[in-house]
Amino acid sequence: MSQLSTRIDKKLASLSSPSFDPYIFKVNDQLRKENKTAYEPEILAIGPHHSHNVNLQMMEKHKLWYLQGLLKRRNEWSNRYVVAMQKLKEITRSCYAESINLEEDKLVEMMLLDGCFIIEMLRKCKSGKFGDTQDGIFKISQIWNAILRDLLLFENQLPFAILFNLFNMAKDSNQQSAPNNIVDLALDTLTERVTYLKNLPRSTIPPDNTVDHLLGLLHYTWCSSFAEIVSSRRNIDESQGSKWSFIKCATELKEAGIKFEKATESSSLFDIRFENGIMRIPPLRIYDDTEWFFRNMIAYKQYKQGIEPTYVTDYVIFMDRLINSPKDVEILCDCRVIDNWLGDDTTVSNIFNKMTNHVNTSSARFCYRKVFNDVNEYCGHLWHTWMANLKHNYFNSPWSIISVIGAFVLFVLTMIQTIYSI
């Protein structure tokens, strides 16, 4: 037996079978090349992936201050928390797909500091201590906004089991108004400050042990209301089968006679409906943070194992089909489906045209297949196109209408005169 073969056999013998499916990954190169900054933290490193970044070291002292504040408030030392984190270190390693190049003590320290920082920050936000003059994080809104952004990056996550254990260990029994579990605390705090998550109905709350991390928790909450809507009409959607084809862009659909309206009665951003030639779409406001937020939500579902529908991904694919050019954005803005706070239609068009590059979705579980089929069937009738062209060419303004009526009256009078002459 050769030395190479012996060495390989030793590696195989020492290799343990994976007993846990990881759920925290680094974004692949294809997605990263589309927009590198959308996946990388600006000010705060959480977890091991960006802990080595020298540009993020400023917040390390704040993490120590937050841990110090927690221990002082409870009149404790750190030993109890260190022991608890040591028990979770192997589980924590298994949550990350890539190897964690940290020694045991460094790993435990990272778990403790990052976990306590998140919990203390959420508590301060919930208690309204934004005016705390002793805490520099809340003095400047740009810093807080950057921290909030970094907490929701796909690569910048901490296993929720760490937050669950630390929260229960540091729970203050005398604070009756505070949430008594980490899920409620995180949702109460973050959904108030994330634009796309405000005023979400929380009809279902996932159990603590089914939550991957903060991003996963917010993804679940964001999609749960639409999941209930889809479930209520599942028989209708399933009757369409798995066959469907893409729709045309908004400009072409408008020329085919389809109208776009802002849907105001739906509780979910994803609840797009089409009926009687009218497509009703919940309004979407485009900010500077729109792209990174959607990209990280999409990345989470790209790596998440399971058979659940990919609502966020499907929604972005839908919008990408509607928007091919700035003209399409203009049409959707005119009907108030899109509220463009960027001011530039070309920028919005580019965001949606690039966001689905190298993104996969399930054809059989695509949640807008019925809408696509109904739209394509509507466009297949020439009568709708003829009527749309008639309205566009002859009834697009009051003066055009008056001209057509005048021409028609003149034609009738001419016919009457001809008949009398005969």
Residues 409 and 360 in one domain: no
Residues spanned by the domain of 295:
240-380
DSSP per position, 45-66: --SSTTTT-GGGTHHHHHHHHH
pLDDT-based confidence at residue 386 (cuts at 50, 70, 90)? very low
In single-letter form, the type of residue at position 313 comes to T
Residues 170 and 259 in one domain: no
Q: How many domains is the chain partitioned into structurally?
A: 3
Q: Tokens 């940290």 belong to which residue?
A: 102
Higher pLDDT, 140 or 52: 52
Higher pLDDT, 197 or 132: 197
Q: Quick one: pLDDT at residue 385?
A: 52
Number of neighbouring beta carbons within 10 Å of residue 330: 16
Contact indicator for 272, 405 with CB cutoff of 8 Å? no
DSSP per position, 87-151: HHHHHHHHHBSS-----HHHHHHHHHHHHHHHHHHHHHHHTTGGG-TT-GGGT-HHHHHHHHHHH
Residues 346 and 411 in one domain: no
Report CA 231 to chain centroid distance, whole Å: 20
Give me the mean pLDDT over the 385-389 stretch.
Answer: 49
Is pLDDT at 391 greater than 90 in this prediction?
no
pLDDT-based confidence at residue 246 (cuts at 50, 70, 90)? very high
Q: Measured between alpha carbons, how far is residue 215 from residues 180, 243, 293, 365 in Å?
A: 20, 32, 10, 23
In single-letter form, the type of residue at position 173 comes to S
3-state secondary structure of 24: strand
Residues 370 and 417 in one domain: no
User: What pTM does this model have?
Assistant: 0.85
The predicted-structure confidence for 173-222, as pLDDT tens digits, reads as follows 665 556 788 998 999 888 888 888 876 766 666 766 678 999 999 999 89
Residues 119 and 266 in one domain: no
Give me the mean pLDDT over the 235-252 stretch.
Answer: 75
Work out the angle at residue 67's Cα, subtended by the Cα atoms of residues 64 and 70, and round it to the nearest 5 degrees: 150
Is pLDDT at 160 greater than 50 in this prediction?
yes
Contact indicator for 61, 129 with CB cutoff of 8 Å? no
How far is Cα 79 from Cα 57, in angstroms, rounded to an integer? 24
Q: Quick one: pLDDT at residue 401?
A: 57
Where does a domain end: 154, 179, 204?
179
Q: Spell out the residues 6+ positions from residue 76 whose beta carbon is closer than 8 angstroms to its own.
A: none
Q: Between β-strands 278-281 and 259-262, what pairing exists: parallel, antiparallel or unpaired?
A: parallel
Residues 253 and 376 in one domain: yes
Residues 156 and 22 in one domain: yes
Residues 400 and 292 in one domain: no
Lowest-confidence region among 14-23, 120-129, 321-330, 335-344: 14-23
Residues 350 and 416 in one domain: no
Higher pLDDT, 415 or 77: 77
* CA R_g for the chain: 28
pLDDT above 70: percentage of residues in the chain: 82
Work out the angle at residue 193's Cα, subtended by the Cα atoms of residues 352 and 64, and round it to the nearest 5 degrees: 110
Six token digits for residue 14: 């020492």
The predicted-structure confidence for 306-345, as pLDDT tens digits, reads as follows 767 789 999 999 999 999 999 999 999 999 999 999 989 9
Residues 258 and 376 in one domain: yes
Long-range contacts of 171-180 (CB under 8 A, 24+ apart): 172/73, 172/74, 178/123, 178/126, 178/127, 179/126
Residues 410 and 373 in one domain: no
Q: Quick one: pLDDT at residue 265?
A: 79
Residues 171 and 253 in one domain: no
Does some domain include residue 219?
no
Contact indicator for 288, 344 with CB cutoff of 8 Å? no
Does some domain include residue 194?
no
